Structure 1
Amino acid sequence: MLRGIGILLVVSGHASSGSSMNVFAPYSFHMPLFFFISGLFFSDSKVDGVLPTVIKNTKSLLLYSTAFYMFYACVCWVITRLGFTAFAQPFSLELIFLNQFTTSGAYSFTATYWFIPCLFFVKLYFSLIHARLVSLINSRREGLISISFLAAYMVIAFAAVVYSVEMYEKTGVQLDKIIYFRFAFALFFFYLGSIVAKYNVQRFLSNVFVLAVLYIVQQQLWVSAGNLDFWMQISKYQATYLPVISSVLAIAFFYGLSDIAAKNKSFCVVLGYIGKNSLPIVLHHIFGFFLINALLCAFGVIKPSDVINLFYQFDTVHTWPLYIIGAVLFSLIFDRYAVQPVMNTFKNMDLLSALKRPQ
């Protein structure tokens, strides 16, 4: 359910509409939230093998995103010839295989894919390096070790923000650096999720009084700072301390809120289903925005030349709910009725091949 809330906020943020909240604006926490959620399922008490870990995460993350990089490269080639010239981009193997590790927006509809390789490297780090460090220490003071690592990763996160701010003050975005900056920033939130799950910290967050305090603190932070937004994609932060603090506060607030909402069966069904399918929504919701614009073009409301970028919306003030709902529904339908059947076909082929092998 927390993931369902998070992905709806991601789509809302990308819809560039008035639907975002001033206090818990999506761009003040939503990507750290997803690293946090991934960390909830990590335990450093188990040391995984190197090759199995790399293969597992490559198959579940990188192969999936790269396949859709190729798909949307073809889509951009087609729609450019239909008059949507803003999406023109050469079909390049370099862009398909390497761009997702930097800005990820080469083919417009893949702009959100940067998160996937970043998560890939974060998961590899914790499975292959962090878990081994913990096993080497082998101390009975488990709590002290957890606190020490959490403090270390927090310092690394703050350092990443400091150097990112310094980078923009001097030269602007440098693609060879942002990969390391956002990786360093993500480490803390992934491990924070692991600690919360390990010590069952969430039991303190579903109290209405606690949520009210978190809300008031975030409100005061927003008022004093004036702006809490940051772009983790390109490591663009507005201050050296706000991104970490605003993310932690918002994660705690929405974790507690999701725990309360989980007591309602209707919320469980809807947000649970959306949360389980958050990856397809990440992959396809921006193309969902475009399809709405394509329909508007077909009905003569706008022209293809009016669609100037991937986030273009017609009459944003009045139509933002249409773009959010349409993008989510398209992502879910496309994945269920187009992507999943293809994947099941390949899985069945692998199973048949395995059965035919001589024992």
Structure 2
Amino acid sequence: MTKKEINSQIDYITIAKAIGIIMVVCGHIGGIYKIIGIPVFNSKPSEIFPIYSYHMPLFIFISGYFYKQGYIYDIKGLIKKRLKTLVIPYYKWNLFYGLLVTVLINVGLFNNGNKINLYNYFLEPIFQGYQYNLNGPSWFLISLFFIQIGYTLIRKRLNNNILDVKLSLLLFIITIIVNIWSNNIVMENHPIPLFLSRTLFGVLFFHIGYCFNIYFKSKNNLCVPDLLFIVFLKYFLTIIIGKNYTLSMRTMLLRGMSIVPILSAILGIIYILYISKLIEKILLNRDLKYLKMFFGFISKNTFAIMMHHMTINMFIQLILDSMDKNNIVYIIWYYSEDVVKPVICILFSVLFNKYVGSFLDEIYLRIVIMFKFLKENKLKENKNVHLKDL
């Protein structure tokens, strides 16, 4: 790959997407995310920008950034495309993890998940989404599918004539109402309200991403004073509310706040965009070929990383638990794991998705062929019986 080809594939949105998935991984297994978030507080979390205040809205924002207005007139095309890229691959792996976790529970090697059944295979991913734990973070993929469809239906219902600024205001008000609703019941115990509130919460950030691409893409120039102003705003917001705010979009746990979740997420997204723009500028001005390829590689493989990093972390932990704590390898690992562990989880997640995924595809294909063969034989038998009766 030439330098020109590499540079053409790396922009700040690509970098922001890569940073986003790195934050997801670090949030689950530990890592260097605290440095990116600017740790200044004595409380936990200590960062000005805790990852659980913005990382899921960031992914929704980026998805909205790439949304095409033509989908409003071709919603069937959108559904077909997202079924192929999000839903079907998700359920393929959900079956694998359901069976794997069931086996691990039965042999006593795992107790942090559920045995597979029809509800937690088909419906729980839609209404909740952490049924088997090892693929728990991938709840977001199904949620993103419904967010995109929901956003498209809203625009189609409004005949796409409403000004984006008015739609932004409308969605902002709806999200505040949804947040108030979420603060008054334990959403995790009410699957359908959880699904509705989570989807509507996501629609706002999807729209913001879409509007950013349309109206602000060319205006996002790196300006250090602006970056410092965003940092100051978030610091000031933290001081005003009296705590370093985090939320759980998966369970719509908003900790009694209605407007703060929106503001925290928006400021976190803007912060990551500025950081990404700074990294983009450094990469374009210096011959850092492998770092560019690293960001591009991570950005292209967010599905695999989100789906499998908890599994890879489990294998790492099993290996560590079997090692002598005085072993030199264990000691080196102990002092370097904040950097090494996320990298290993990311790389092996991609490999796991590629090779185990190919194996699963072959198995699924053989099962489909077998059922097709049995169906054809059954039809032939029925036809022969019918002919004999004549």
TM bucket (normalised to shorter chain) is: 0.7 to 0.9
2:255 aligned with 1:240, yes or no? no
Correspondence 1:224 to 2:248: no
Equivalent residue, structure 1, for 2:123: 98
Q: Secondary structure of the equivalent of 2:238?
A: helix
Q: Structure 2: where are the runs of 5+ without partners?
A: 1-14, 38-46, 326-332, 366-390
Q: Give the C-alpha shift of residue 178 in structure 1.
A: 0.9
Q: Does 1:187 align with 2:193?
A: no
Q: Secondary structure at the match of 1:32?
A: helix
Residue 88 of structure 1, CA deviation: 5.6
2:80 is matched with 55
Displacement of 1:8: 0.5
Aligned pair count reads 326
Matched, 1:280 2:304: yes
Shift of 1:73: 1.2
Between the aligned partners of 1:81 and 1:121, the Cα distance in structure 2 is 34
Moved more, 157-166 or 29-38: 157-166
- Are the counterparts in 1 of residues 32 and 339 from structure 2 also a CA contact under 8 Å? no
Superposition pairs of residues 239-318 of structure 1, within 5 angstroms: 239-263=257-281, 264=283, 266=288, 267-299=291-323
Contact 2:148 2:203 in 1 (8 A): no
Pairing 1:35-74 to 2, within 5 Å after superposition: 35-44=60-69, 47-74=72-99
Question: Does the CA-based 8 Å contact 1:118-1:183 persist in structure 2?
Answer: yes
Q: In the alignment, does 2:358 pair up with 1:336? A: no
Question: Which amino acid counterpart does residue 227 of structure 1 have in structure 2?
Answer: N
Deviation of the 1:150 alpha carbon: 0.8
User: Once the 2 structures are TM-superposed, how far is the Cα of residue 39 of structure 1 from its aligned partner?
Assistant: 0.3
CA separation in 1, counterparts of 2:259 and 2:247? 12
Decide which structure has the larger Cα Rg and report it. Answer: 2
Q: Note the alpha carbon deviations across 1:240-265, whole angstroms, 9 max, x for none.
A: 11110011011111112212212305
Could you tell me how far 1:69 is from its partner in structure 2?
0.8
Distance, in Å, in 2 between the alignment partners of 1:201 and 1:52 is: 26
Distance 1:316 1:173 in 2: 38
Alignment counterpart, residue 213 of structure 2, candidates 197, 201, 204: 197
In 2: Cα distance, 1:245 partner to 1:51 partner: 34
Residues in 2 aligned to 1:317 and 1:157: alpha-carbon distance in whole angstroms = 43
CA distance in structure 2 between the partners assigned to 1:18 and 1:256 by the alignment: 18
Deviation at 1:121, TM superposition (A): 1.1
Distance in 1 of aligned mates of 2:335 and 2:196: 37
Matched, 1:127 2:134: no
Q: Which residue of 2 aligns with 1:11?
A: 25
Look up the SS of the partner of 1:200 in the other structure: helix
Stretch of structure 1 that moved more, 82-91 or 204-213: 82-91
Matches of 2:278 and 2:30, distance apart in 1: 28
Give the drift of 1:269: 2.0
Q: Aligned partners of 2:271 and 2:115: how far apart in 1?
A: 43
Cα RMSD (Å) of the superposition? 2.8
Percent identity between the aligned chains? 22
Q: Return the TM-score normalized by structure 2.
A: 0.76
Over 3 Å counting, the alpha-carbon distance change for 1:94 and 1:103 in structure 2 is same
1:276 Cα deviation after fit: 1.3
Query: TM-score, normalised to structure 1's length?
Result: 0.82
Mapped pair 1:86 → 2:104:
no
Alpha carbons 1:231, 1:237 under 8 Å: kept? yes
Any gaps of 5 or more consecutive residues in structure 1?
A: 138-143, 302-314, 348-359
Give yes or no for contact 1:39–1:194 (8 Å, CA) kept in 2.
Answer: yes
Does the 8 A contact of 2:150 with 2:199 survive in 1? no
Is the contact between residue 17 and residue 316 of structure 1 (CA under 8 Å) also seen in structure 2? no
Distance in 2 of aligned mates of 1:255 and 1:156: 26
> Aligned partner of 1:259: which letter?
K
CA distances 1:220-243 after superposition (whole Å, capped 9, x unpaired):
222333121100000000211111
Structure 1 CA distance for aligned equivalents of residues 202 and 55 of structure 2: 12
Bigger mean CA deviation after superposition, 203-212 or 144-153: 203-212
CA-CA distance at 1:281 after TM superposition: 0.7
Q: 1:272 to 1:289 in 2, by over 3 A?
A: same
Task: Read off the aligned partner of 1:231 and give its amino acid letter.
Answer: S
Q: 1:107 is paired with a residue of what secondary structure?
A: coil
Question: Residue type matched to 1:232 in 2?
Answer: M
